[in-house]
Amino acid sequence: MILEKIKEKFLDDVYETFEFRGDLVAVVNKDIVRELAQYLKTDPVLDFNILMDLTAVDYLWQERKPRFDVVYHLYSLSQNHRVRIKAGVDEKDLTIDSLVSIWPVADWFEREVWDMFGIKFKGHPNLKRILMYEEFKGHPLRKDYPYNKRQPLVGPQN
Q: What is the pLDDT of residues 107-152, one digit of tens each?
A: 999 999 999 999 999 999 999 999 998 888 999 999 999 988 887 7
Distances (CA, A) of 148 to 36, 139, 140: 40, 13, 11
pLDDT at position 156 is 67
b/e burial code for range 123-144 (CB count within 10 A of at least 16 → b): ebeebeebeeeeeeeebbbbee
- E runs forming strands in 29-105: 50-58, 68-76, 81-89, 95-97
Residue 22 above 90 pLDDT?
no
The H or E element that residue 111 is part of is helix 106-117
- CA nearest neighbour of 111 among 134, 145, 86: 134
Instruction: Please choose, from the candidates 34, 1, 33, the residue with its C-alpha nearest in 3D space to the C-alpha of residue 15.
Output: 33
pLDDT of residue 149: 80
Domain ranges of the chain: 2-95
Percent of the chain residues past pLDDT 90, beyond the cut:
85
List, for residues 70-89, the tens digit of each pLDDT value. Answer: 999 999 999 999 999 999 99
| Average pLDDT value for residue range 60-70 | 94
What's the pLDDT band for 158 if we cut at 50, 70, 90? low
Non-local (6+) Cβ contacts of 11 within 8 A are none
pLDDT at 154 over 80: no
Domain 2-95 belongs in CATH node 3.30.460.80: yes
Q: How many other CB atoms are there within 10 angstroms of residue 86's CB atom?
A: 16
- pTM for the whole structure: 0.92
Quick check: 26 and 3 in contact, CB under 8 A?
Answer: yes
Would you say residue 91 has pLDDT above 80? yes
